[in-house]
Amino acid sequence: MAGQRARELRAMGRDILGLTAGEPDFETPGHIMEAATRAMAAGQTRYTDVGGTPALKDAIAGKFRSENGLAYAPSEIIVGTGAKQVIFNALMCTVAAGNEVIVPAPYWVSYPDIALLAGGVPVFVDCPAARGFKLQPADIERAITGRTRWLMLNSPNNPSGATYTRAELQALAEVLRRHPHVWVLTDDIYEHLIYGDVEFATMAQAAPDLKDRTLTVNGVSKAYAMTGWRIGYGAGPAELIKAMVKLQSQSTSGPNSIAQAAAVAALTGPQDTIAANRREYQKRRDAVVAALNAIDGIHCEVPDGAFYIFASCSALFGLRTRKGATIGSSDDWVMHLLDSQDLAALQGSAYGVSTHFRISFAAGTEQLLEGCRRIARARDELFPAPISN
């Protein structure tokens, strides 16, 4: 809705400031692009193995081994055209009509739709801000039924930035041990975008006994500023991976050969740009959180990871715009930002939380501060509704 309106306004000549992008604003590191050039010059322009080249699978296995303490054989790894395809493959191969997929809210927008496309039923579990937007053991215990097939975990989370600690994952694992029919899909795409003293952990690492029913999904898009290269990967039990590769062979076949060569360079080459980018993101995060929390009626917690601010606008509900419209949801607030200030943000309802809105701090500092100024002006244009007699 807001996206369509933003396109309409741009077509009318309005200069829309967009803070919606879910991708780094940094360039892909030079050594990665050089690896792609070398691959083309070497004639690596043919079809590859459907599930990924041996070289990339070896690099992925090395990443899991060195960074996460996890051992995977090539038969337990799949490379897809982005992490989204890996997730799609997994659910399409395992979810039958009526199977349930537990989706903690807030959630990445694709999870419920992929579950529905597979014939499943997304089961939403509210994870409120008061609990750090994190799934609690008692909540998952109540959500699990005999029809449950998967639990989706995204840490750091899009849109909230919530990041599960090893202890929190182990507490969830205690519940999952009582329900051996439930598999776990961990979407770790923002693994390297964690701030402060928070340490990353993933379920197969925190609870090794659940590794044989866990699919660990990751990719090069966020950490290496390679969103357009479209390379994601997953690691899990060989039988599951075999089925996913078979499905992929009848849909897209193998991922782009040049992008796979570039991903090898990303995973095995210098890693210094990750830390440098993370430091810049943290500066932006701190500046935006301070600016937003200074606005009357807007409140946000400091996210531990990813590059999004998920701010509450619920204190504005019931106020009215100059045109007489009432702000009753994040959808209304986001449309007000767009129409009154030419600022594009994303409504929290898309992520299962209608009291919040999301802005991305994967943008220049001045753009971000200008966005915060526009949010402040939009707030100043709201007034209490008149009291009727």
State residue 371 phi and psi, 5-degree precision: -60, -40
The dihedral through the CA atoms of 255, 259, 261, 263 has a sign that is: negative
- Tell me the HSE value of 257 on the side-chain side, using a 13 A CA sphere: 13
- Ranges of residues in the chain with a pLDDT under 70 are 1-6, 387-389
| Helices 330-341 + 2-11 axis angle, to 10 | 10
Common-topology check for domains 2-26+273-380 and 30-268: no
User: Tokens 């051992």 label which residue?
Assistant: 71
Contact 325, 318 (CB under 8 A): no
* Per-domain residue ranges of the chain: 2-26+273-380, 30-268
Fold observed for domain 2-26+273-380: Aspartate Aminotransferase, domain 1 (3.90.1150)
pLDDT of residue 11: 79
pLDDT of residue 28: 98
pLDDT of residue 1: 57
pLDDT of residue 388: 59
pTM: 0.96
Convert the pLDDT of each residue in 162-204 to its tens digit.
999 999 999 999 999 999 999 999 999 999 999 999 999 999 9
pLDDT of residue 387: 61
Pairing of β 383-384 and β 319-320: antiparallel
Closest CA to 79 of 46, 59, 56, 110: 56
CA-based max dimension of the chain: 80
Q: What is the CATH number of domain 30-268?
A: 3.40.640.10
